[in-house]
Chain A
Amino acid sequence: MTTLKYILRDTWRLIVHHWVLGLLTLITAGVMLWILGVTTLFSLNLENLLTRLESELVVQAYLVKDNTLNIEAISRKIQSLEYVYTMRTWSPSESLAKLQEKMGSQSRALEMLGDNPIPYNFEIHVHSATDVEPLVQELKAMPEIEDVVYAGMVVRRISALSRISSRVALVMFLLAVIITALVVYNTIHISLYSRREEIGIMYLVGATRSYIATPFVLEGTLLALLGAIIAAGGIVGAYFPGIQFVQSNLPFLRASLITDRGIIWRFCALLAGFGATLGWVCSYLVVMRFINAITRPE
Chain B
Amino acid sequence: MNIMFSGVYKIFEPDISALSNINLNIQQGEFVYIIGQTGSGKSTLLRLITRELLPSRGTVAVGDFDLRRMKSSDVPYYRRDVGLVAQDFRLIQTLTVYENIAFAMEAMSVPKKIVSERTKDVINQVGLWRRRNMRPEQLSGGEQQRVAIARALANSPSLFIADEPTGNLDFHTAVDVMKILFAINAAGVTVVMSTHNQAIVNASKKRVIELEGGKIVRDEKGGTYTI
Contacts and interface: CB of A to CB of B under 8 A. Distances in A.
A207 B76 contact: yes
Contacts of B50: 204
A200 B90 CA distance: 9
A206 B81 CA distance: 8
Interface stretch (B104-112, B139-147, B193-201, B213-221): B104-112
Contacts of B107: 6, 202, 205-208, 211
Contacts of B52: 204, 297-298
Interface string A15-26: 001000000000
B53 A297 contact: yes
Contacts of B111: 2
Interface residues of B, number: 30
A145 to B, nearest CB: 72
Interface in B47-104: 50-54, 72-73, 75-77, 79-80, 84, 90-92, 94, 103-104
A203 B108 CA distance: 11
B79 A206 contact: yes
Given A17-B94, A198-B92, A206 B76 contact: yes
A137 interface: no
B79 A205 contact: yes
A14 to B, nearest CB: 11
Contacts of B73: 208-209
A201 interface: yes
Contact of B84 (A3, A205, A209, A296): A205
Contact of B112 (A2, A17, A198, A295): A2
Interface in A114-159: none
B12 interface: yes
A205 B110 CA distance: 14
Given A17-B94, A298-B53, A205 B109 contact: no
A204 B53 contact: no
B132 to A, nearest CB: 18
Interface string A281-298: 000000000000001111
Contacts of A296: 72
A3 B115 CA distance: 12
B53 A6 contact: no
B99 to A, nearest CB: 10
Contacts of A207: 76, 107
Contacts of B42: none
A206 B104 contact: yes
A97 B99 CA distance: 91
A11 to B, nearest CB: 14
Interface string B198-211: 00000000000000
27 contacts: A2-B112, A3-B109, A5-B112, A6-B107, A6-B109, A197-B92, A198-B92, A200-B90, A201-B91, A202-B107, A203-B76, A204-B84, A205-B107, A205-B155, A206-B77, A206-B79, A206-B108, A207-B76, A208-B73, A208-B107, A209-B73, A211-B76, A295-B72, A295-B75, A297-B54, A298-B12, A298-B54
- Nearest 5 CB-CB pairings of A with B: A207-B107, A206-B80, A206-B79, A3-B109, A205-B104
Interface of A: 2-3, 5-6, 17, 197-198, 200-209, 211, 295-298
Interface of B: 12, 50-54, 72-73, 75-77, 79-80, 84, 90-92, 94, 103-104, 106-112, 151-152, 155
Given A205-B155, A297-B54, A298-B12, 18 more contacts: A3-B109, A6-B109, A203-B76, A203-B79, A205-B84, A205-B103, A205-B107, A206-B77, A206-B80, A207-B107, A208-B73, A208-B76, A209-B76, A295-B72, A296-B72, A297-B51, A297-B52, A298-B52
